[in-house]
Each structure stands twice: as structure tokens, then as C-alpha cells.
């Protein structure tokens, strides 16, 4: 059994990419889901600080694992605010490397489910670059405004 990093995943994230919902090989059980879960979905998200997080969510219903993601949704949200209480989210990766986030989530999904395909690395890269460029542009506009109005950061 794989050790669980941190079962409390209370971060503000913009979800960059989600895997398909997959059926688990074995029922997932935990303190949060004592009756178990039969489905899993992985995701990679970006915090407002630019850090990346990889996670998996366990549930028994596909509709419980639906949540907004890029490009339709670019506002950070807490996963606890968009997923019902019948879902357990487990953090798999936290850091600055989008490739590692994708690799960690895809490895976990492959370990727990036979289905092929996971999170598409090229789509995560595109989302990450787009959001970073947006953030850099916003910082530049703010610096211009402060310069124009004689204020220092």
C-alpha cells in the first residue's frame, strides 16, 4: 500500500488539467471514506503563488468528481469548495515542476487502475505557460501603473 502524503488538501488552485474518471482495481478505503470508493480522478493545479500541485480524488459517483478546469475556468478555488463531502482528495505532489506533477499523478493512476491514459503533459504545459504569462503581464501592468503614479512597490 502506498503511503498517503497529506490527506488534507486545502489549497487555492486553478486546475490546469484533469484525467478521465477511472474505475479502481480495488476499493479505496480510508478514515474519510470508510465504506470505500470505486472511482478515481487525478488533477494538476497551480496555486496563486505559481507552485504546482498534483492530486487524486476518490469517490463513488462520476458526477461527484466533476470540477472546473482550464481553459474554461481560470480562477483559483479550494477543492473543498467545488467537490462534495463524499470525495476524498489526496495530495501527491507539491512543488515547481509541472512535469513532476504530471508524472506523479499519472504514476498513481496507473498503479490503481488498468485504464490507459492519464493527464496530458502537453496540455498541462500549455495551461501553465498561459497562466504564468497572464500573471507576468498583470505584474508588469501593476509596475507601470505604480511608476506612472509615482509610487514604488
Q: What are phi and psi of 120, to 5 degrees?
A: -75, 115
- H-only helix segments in the chain: 79-82, 98-112, 121-148
Residue 127: the pLDDT is 84
Q: Which of 41, 40, 42, 46 is nearest to 94 (CA)?
A: 46
Q: Is the pLDDT of residue 53 over 70?
A: yes
Neighbours of 2 (CB within 10 A): 10
**Lookup: cell for 38:** 470505486
Predicted pLDDT at 151: 67
> What are the pLDDT digits (tens) for 82-135?
899 999 999 999 998 999 999 999 999 999 987 777 898 988 888 878 877 777
Band (pLDDT 50/70/90 cuts) for residue 10 is low
- Supply the pLDDT for residue 93: 95
Considering the chain, what percentage of its residues have pLDDT values greater than 70?
A: 89
Residue 102: name the closest of 138, 143, 52, 137 by CA: 52
In this structure, are residues 14 and 70 in contact, taking their beta carbons and an 8 Å threshold?
yes
Least confident window among 4-8, 61-65, 120-124, 132-136: 4-8
110 or 50: whose pLDDT is higher? Answer: 110
Q: What residues contact 7, with CB distance under 8 A and at least 6 apart?
A: 30, 31, 32, 88, 89, 90, 91
Q: Identify which of 51, 37, 48 has the alpha carbon closest to the alpha carbon of residue 90.
A: 37
Name the band, by pLDDT with cuts 50, 70 and 90, for residue 153.
very low
pLDDT of 147 reads 80
CA distance 94 to 51: 7
d(CA 101, CA 134): 21
Give the mean model confidence (pLDDT) for residues 126-145. Answer: 76
Domain ranges of the chain: 12-148
What pLDDT is stored for residue 4 in this prediction?
A: 47
Single pTM value for the model: 0.79
Mean residue pLDDT across the chain: 85
Amino acid at each position: 500500500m502506498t503511503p498517503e502524503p497529506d490527506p488534507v488538501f486545502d489549497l487555492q488552485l486553478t486546475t490546469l488539467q484533469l484525467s478521465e474518471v477511472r474505475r479502481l482495481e480495488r476499493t479505496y478505503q480510508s478514515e474519510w471514506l470508510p465504506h470505500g470508493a470505486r472511482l478515481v480522478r487525478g488533477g494538476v493545479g497551480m496555486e496563486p503563488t505559481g507552485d504546482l500541485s498534483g492530486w487524486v480524488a476518490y469517490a463513488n459517483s462520476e458526477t461527484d468528481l466533476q470540477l472546473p478546469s482550464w481553459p474554461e475556468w481560470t480562477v483559483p478555488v479550494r477543492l473543498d469548495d467545488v467537490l462534495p463531502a463524499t470525495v476524498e482528495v489526496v495530495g501527491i505532489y507539491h512543488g515547481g515542476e509541472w512535469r513532476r506533477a504530471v508524472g506523479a499523478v499519472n504514476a498513481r493512476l496507473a498503479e490503481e487502475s488498468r485504464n490507459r491514459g492519464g493527464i496530458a503533459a502537453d496540455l498541462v504545459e500549455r495551461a501553465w505557460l498561459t497562466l504564468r504569462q497572464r500573471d507576468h503581464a498583470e505584474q508588469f501592468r501593476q509596475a507601470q501603473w505604480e511608476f506612472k503614479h509615482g509610487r514604488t512597490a
